[in-house]
Amino acid sequence: MPEEPAPTAPGAVGAAALRADCDNCFGLCCVALTFSVSADFPVDKKAGDPCRNLRTDFRCGIHRELRGRGFRGCTVYDCLGAGQKVSQITFGGRDWRGHPESAAEMFAALPVMRQLHELLGYLNEALALERARPLHGEIRRALEETERHSLTGPEELLRLDVAACRAAVNPLLLRASELVRARVRGKGGRGNHRGADLFGARLKGADLRGADLRGAYLIAADLRGADLRQADLIGADLRDADLRGADLTGALFLVQPQLNAAKGDPATRIPPSFTRPGHW
């Protein structure tokens, strides 16, 4: 049976807090981030400049037409709940239009908070994995420390060494992954592809159960009908990967932006906590 995380394990951060809530955000991703003319964006925009499609109510004026208008990159991005936390907690509900003196700090805080929320999501998942139970005490302490960092004020948040936070958490996530995947490997699990260059790889129908695909480059890979149950996908690049008919139930450390960047169809099986991308 697939090893699927519970919606919220005891001691975990509430799942809703790790999902984007645009109604409680001041359109930070539409201002703080930079983008350049490419297949993902039709125009250039500097960090700190509001997107031309941002309305006065901090909502996107073309949200339902983003892909058709060439803003595919916007449909892939997900703040993982960082936007509303920076808006409502870090800056106490003070928006950058009404308080321009806080704008630069607010925009700089978004990518820091997003990385912390990504770690919180991974730790939440690890805490819910039954086979990682021997590590739950360590995982819970790491989760509490990461959440504490995310609740500090702007100055402390911007001084935070996020790379050090990731370096401290990553070995713990790897150990949790190995405990889950050991059972699959014992039945012929499909090996180590960590950081592998699988750009455009022909993996149609591949049995990748329990595979280590951490940081693998699966850009435009043909994964139609592939079995990715219990595969560790942390940091895997799935841009334009063809996941039609693939099975990702129980995939480890998958995040919504990875699905958003890939291609799928109604036959693609995804964990129940994820949203099926509209372009599938």
How much of the chain exceeds pLDDT 70, in percent? Answer: 94
Q: Give the count of alpha carbons within 13 A of 90, CB side only.
A: 33
Backbone angles phi, psi at 123, to 5 degrees: -65, -40
Residue 4 clears pLDDT 50, i.e. is over it? no
Name 80's Cβ contacts closer than 8 Å, sequence gap at least 6: 18, 19, 20, 114, 117, 118, 121, 255, 256
Per-chain mean pLDDT for the chain: 94
Q: Which residue segment(s) compose the domain that 234 sits in?
A: 189-280
- What would the pLDDT profile of 14-25 be if each residue is shown by its tens digit? 889 999 999 999
pTM: 0.93
129 and 231 belong to one structural domain: no
Question: How many Å apart are CA 113 and CA 120, to the nearest integer?
Answer: 10
- What domain count does the chain have? 2
Residue 45 counted as domain residue: no
Listed residues 123, 151, 182: the one ending a domain: 182
Q: Residue 265 belongs to a domain with what CATH number? A: 2.160.20.80
Residues 198 and 174 in one domain: no
* pLDDT (mean) for 163-178: 97
Same domain, 197 and 169: no
Among the candidates 182, 207, 241, a domain finishes at 182
